[in-house]
Structure 1
Amino acid sequence: MVWDVLNVIGTIAFAASGAIIAMEVKYDIMGIYILGMITAFGGGAVRNLFIGIPIIELWQQTTLFVIAIITITVLFLIPQKAISIIREWNVFDAIGLSAFAIQGAMYAHSIHLPFLAVMFSAAITGAGGGIIRDVLAQKKPSVFCQEIYLLWAIIAGFIIGIGWAEEPYQLYTLFSIILLLRVISHRFGWHLPTRTVSTIVNTDSSI
C-alpha cells in the first residue's frame, strides 16, 4: 500500500513540476505534455537501467500514465495566478522528491541490493526526473548548483537502507520529514558549500 500511494503521489507531483517548468520556458502544448511525462517517469527509468530492471517495466504502468496526463491537463487549464503561487513555493518538486526517493529506496531494499545501491536508488529516483527536466528545458540542473535537494533523497535512502524505516507509519513519517526539510531549505535558501574556479584570461596581446 505504501508503495502504491507514494507512486501515485510522486507521479502527480513530478508531472505537475515538469509541466510548470515547460510553461515557464514557453514550450507549446506538446512540449508541456512531454516534459511533464519525462519528469514523472525519467527518474524511475534511469533507476531501473542502473539496477538491472528491464526497461519494459516502465510501459506496464498504464494507470500512472493516465494519472500523469490528467495532472498535466489540469495544470494547463488552471489560471496563471495559481501556477505562479505553486511555482513560488516549489511544492510539487518537494513532494515528488520525497515520494520517489523513498519509493526508490524501498524498491532497491526489497530486492536486497547493497546499502550504497539503496542510497543511489533513492537519489536517482528522487532527482533523476528533475535533472532530465532541467536539461531539456535548457536550464542548469538545480539539483547540482542551487539548493539542498539531492542530499534529502540520499538521507531517505540511508534511513531505509539501514533499516530504520520499514513499517508504513515509519515510511509516511519519513516522507513528511523529507518533504518538510525540502520546503524549508527552499524557503530559506539553504545551500551546500561550493567552490568555483575562475577562468584565466590571457591579456597578453603580443605575438
Structure 2
Amino acid sequence: MPDVVLVVLDLLGIAVFAATGALVAVRKELDVFGAIVLGAITGLGGGVVRDLLIGAVPPAALVEWTYLVAPLVAAILVFVFHPTIGRMEKQIGVLDAVGVALFCVTGAVKALEFGLGVLPAALCGLLTAIGGGMMRDVLAGRVPVIFREELYATPAFAGALLAVAAVELDLGAWAYGVAAGVCLVWRLLALWRGWKAPLPPGIDRG
C-alpha cells in the first residue's frame, strides 16, 4: 500500500476512534483533559501496541506530529459539541465501524511490510482495530465491547485476512477497499440485525 494512502487511512481511523473515546469520557463526566486522554488512547492505543510488537520503533504516533494532532482535534470537537454529537448514537456506531474497517486493513498491511507472516499480520490488523477500544472501555470502567457478545472482532479479523491476501496476491489498492468494505458491511449488518456471538451451551442471554 502506498505510504500516503496508509497514512491518510491511519489518520482517519485515529480521528474516528478518538471521537468515540472522547464521547465516552463526556458521558462519564470527565473534564477536558480526561476527554483528550481517553480520546488519544482510543485512537492511538492499538497502533502503538502493534508498532511495538512488529519492531516499528519509536511508534509512528510518537514521531509524526499529525498522529497526535488528529485525536486532539477530534476529542476537543466532541467535548465542545457533545450535546449534538451525543444524540447521534447511530451515527457514532457507524463511525466506530468505519474506524474498525480502516484499522484492520492498515494494521495488517503494515505488519506484512515489517516481515510478519500471513496469520501474525492478520492478528496485528485485528489488534490495531480493537486495541484502542479495549483500553478505552477498561479505563472507563466498562466491559470491552468485544466481550459483550457483539460481532466486533470477527469482522475485523476477516477484513485483516482479506487485506493480507490482497498484498500476497498483489491485487492492488482496490482490494484494500474491498477488505475494509467487507469488515464495515459485516459490522453494520451485525448492528442493524442484532447479530450476536454464540454463548456457551445452557447459558441464556440476559
Alignment-derived partner of residue 173 in structure 2: 168
TM-score (norm 1): 0.87
CA separation in 2, counterparts of 1:57 and 1:168? Answer: 22
Alignment-derived partner of residue 154 in structure 1: 157
Residues 56 and 124 (structure 1 numbering): CA distance in 2 closer, same or farther, change over 3 Å?
A: closer
Kindly provide the amino acid, as one letter, of the partner of residue 194 in structure 1: L
TM-score (norm 2): 0.87
Alignment-derived partner of residue 53 in structure 1: 56
* 1:96 CA drift (Å): 1.1
CA separation in 2, counterparts of 1:122 and 1:56? Answer: 15
Moved more, 11-20 or 170-179: 170-179
Aligned equivalent of 1:113, options 113, 116, 122: 116
Aligned equivalent of 2:106, options 96, 103, 106: 103
Conserved 8 A contact 1:147-1:192:
yes
SS of residue matched to 1:84 = coil
Bigger radius of gyration, 1 or 2? 1
Aligned equivalent of 1:132, options 131, 135, 145: 135
RMSD (Å) for aligned C-alpha atoms: 2.0
Alignment-derived partner of residue 205 in structure 1: none
Kindly provide the amino acid, as one letter, of the partner of residue 94 in structure 2: V
Give unpaired runs (5+ residues) of structure 2.
Answer: none
1:14 paired with 2:10, answer no
Give unpaired runs (5+ residues) of structure 1.
Answer: 199-207
Aligned equivalent of 1:41, options 44, 57, 77: 44
1:73 paired with 2:76, answer yes
Kindly provide the amino acid, as one letter, of the partner of residue 63 in structure 1: T
Conserved 8 A contact 1:165-1:174:
no
Conserved 8 A contact 1:16-1:71:
yes
Moved more, 20-29 or 86-95: 86-95
CA separation in 2, counterparts of 1:182 and 1:65? Answer: 27
Moved more, 172-181 or 23-32: 172-181
CA separation in 1, counterparts of 2:64 and 2:171? Answer: 24
Residues 197 and 46 (structure 1 numbering): CA distance in 2 closer, same or farther, change over 3 Å?
A: farther
Alignment-derived partner of residue 182 in structure 2: 177
Number of corresponding residues: 198
Kindly provide the amino acid, as one letter, of the partner of residue 95 in structure 2: F
Conserved 8 A contact 2:159-2:182:
no
Residues 166 and 65 (structure 1 numbering): CA distance in 2 closer, same or farther, change over 3 Å?
A: farther
CA separation in 2, counterparts of 1:43 and 1:165? Answer: 26
Residues 93 and 196 (structure 1 numbering): CA distance in 2 closer, same or farther, change over 3 Å?
A: farther
* 1:79 CA drift (Å): 5.0
CA separation in 2, counterparts of 1:131 and 1:196? Answer: 26
